[in-house]
Structure 1
Amino acid sequence: MIGITGATGHLGHLTIQALLDGGTPASEIVAIVRSPEKAADLAAKGVQVRHGDYAQPSTLSAALEGLDKLLLISSNDAADRLTPHLHVVEAARQAGVKLLTYTSILRADSSPLVLATDHKATEEAIRAAGLPFVFLRNGWYLENYNLPQAVQVGAIAGSAGEGRVSAASRADYAAAAAAVLTQPGQENKIYELGGDESFTLGELAAEVSAQSGKAVVYQNLPQEAYAGMLKGFGLPAPLAEMLADSDVWLEKGELYTSRRDLSTLIGRPTTSMQAGVQAALKG
């Protein structure tokens, strides 16, 4: 039995679909969700849906019962990812999960990004729990950029300068998760995952311009100004500050990788920036 936390989120949903497409029977997949009513489409495919909330440890014992493998998709709580993760790790230990796969961040053990702090601590907690693990150290997602909005305002803003980012699509990262959950011999492996090709945000803006037919430029801002702009758009302060911090470190190469762990795992090239732009603009 394979459990997927956060199964109604983008990455969780895509991972379940990748498992199904790869031949894993729906009866062997458990979707662990905070709101079971939102997983009706998964239940209709024969996937077992269980209630499990990161923030409510009492729900996790039943959710993880009988699982052989578990994919812990990291929390999206920018203020505190670690506490919910620790709840799941402890529940997995008590449930006797044989393989805990965790979606971390690129070079989590050495990354200076604020975002990496909770990921590093989660990895350490998984090791301390004595659980066989796989760390999927995901790089940036192509979907992190709101490109339709960029077309509307004529700009992509950031603090990344001429830094290069090795971004890939959510579907690429989901395919990698499905691969490690179904392939033997994955215990205690660490994968540094990123797109085969890197790009600058200026190059991204130029591609959006070319595909949309509208002028889109890259606007480079100081970190505080970029964070302030994001807060002005309604983003919570911790998230806005984390994104601005990530851009500053992007400029310094911390979201770039030359490794091909991702394309090797999924058995094909990763989604190109050009294809990502096309998908985003089609909606």
Structure 2
Amino acid sequence: MILVTGATGQFGVKAVEHLLKKGVNPKGISVLVRDATKAISLKEKGILIKEGDYTDHGSMVEAFIGVDKLLLVSSNNREAIENRTLHHKNVIKAAKEAKVNHIVYTSFVRKAGFENSTIADFQNSHVETENCLKESGIDYTILQNGIYAEMILAFVGDKVAENESILFPAEEGKASWVLREELAEAAAHVLTTQDHKNKTYSLTNTESIGFNTIAQDISEVLNKKVKYTSPDINEFKAIMEKAGVPEMYIGMFTMWGTALAEQTMDKEDDTLSNFLNRKPTSVRQFITKVYS
């Protein structure tokens, strides 16, 4: 039995879809959800729905009994970092009690020196989870996923065609952007193939791209010149505040823009290509599909 946590989220639901595409019998798949009414479509496919919560130890132990492989999809990033870390540790503890054989964990791409980056707290949450998993005695596979290509759309804004400009404080920073869909497909690959026990994989694209190139690609698709500007952080915040952007989003954009400028996510690797048996979708291909 394979169990997927967070199965009504964007990553989890895609992972389930790819398990089915790989021929896994729906009766061999179960999902952990907080609200079963949101998983009706999965139930209709024959998948076993189990209600549970990362904060409810008993519900997770019950849900994990009989599970061979568990895909631990990292907890929602909008929650406090310390809460996410605790959630992950709770899952691992419950899985050990239920005698789960193998946990596959969706972590995040990491480079040397991350401790001094703007996203150090975010990274440390994953480090703590990885260490907890390694110390649990359960067989594990750690997927250090690259930053989602879909995040580009949030960073450039929904009026990029209208304004013909991108305003984002990433300087010349690049990242090895990858589609969430393809990372979920890779997770399904790991869950359905052998020789992944106690291994850590970097799942990134094979080329890192910055916002100057992103602006050029959007320009070509729209057939109009889109200019990329990377303002000072304080200037960027002031512009966002004046535009009425909520403080939470200003903080998020500032954090990720600075992290990109610090070159924290430009790690290139061909493991994802090998798992997919093809090259991952490039940023240019993604942008062409979105804006054409």
Q: Given residue 94 of structure 1, which amino acid in structure 2 is its aligned partner?
A: E
Task: Show the counterpart of 1:20.
Answer: 20
1:205/1:88 CA distance change after superposition, 3 Å: same
Task: Show the counterpart of 1:131.
Answer: 138
Deviations 1:36-72 (A, max 9, x none): 1111111111111111222333321222121100111
Deviation at 1:106, TM superposition (A): 0.9
> CA contact under 8 A between 1:29 and 1:47: conserved in structure 2?
yes
SS at match of 2:27: helix
Structure 2: runs of 5 or more not aligned: none
Q: How far apart are the structure 1 equivalents of 2:48 and 2:289? A: 30
Q: Given residue 4 of structure 2, which amino acid in structure 1 is its aligned partner?
A: I
Supply the RMSD in Å over aligned alpha carbons.
2.2
Deviations 1:208-246 (A, max 9, x none): 22223454332313335546666753363xx65354333
Task: Show the counterpart of 1:234.
Answer: 246
> CA contact under 8 A between 1:137 and 1:193: conserved in structure 2?
yes
Q: How far apart are the structure 2 equivalents of 1:228 and 1:104? A: 33
Task: Show the counterpart of 1:102.
Answer: 105
Structure 1: runs of 5 or more not aligned: none
User: 1:189-228 residue pairs with structure 2 within 5 A?
Assistant: 189-226=199-236
Q: How far apart are the structure 2 equivalents of 1:130 and 1:264? A: 28
> CA contact under 8 A between 1:133 and 1:189: conserved in structure 2?
yes
Task: Choose the corresponding residue for 1:173, options 171, 178, 183.
Answer: 183
Q: State, as a whole percentage, how many aligned pairs show the same letter.
A: 30
- Indicate the structure (1 or 2) with the bigger Cα radius of gyration: 2
Q: How far apart are the structure 2 equivalents of 1:230 and 1:117? A: 28
Deviation at 1:270, TM superposition (A): 0.3
SS at match of 2:260: helix
> CA contact under 8 A between 1:108 and 1:120: conserved in structure 2?
no
What is the TM-score normalised by the length of structure 2?
0.87
Q: How far apart are the structure 2 equivalents of 1:230 and 1:53? A: 36
Task: Show the counterpart of 2:39.
Answer: 39
Q: How far apart are the structure 1 equivalents of 2:90 and 2:239? A: 34
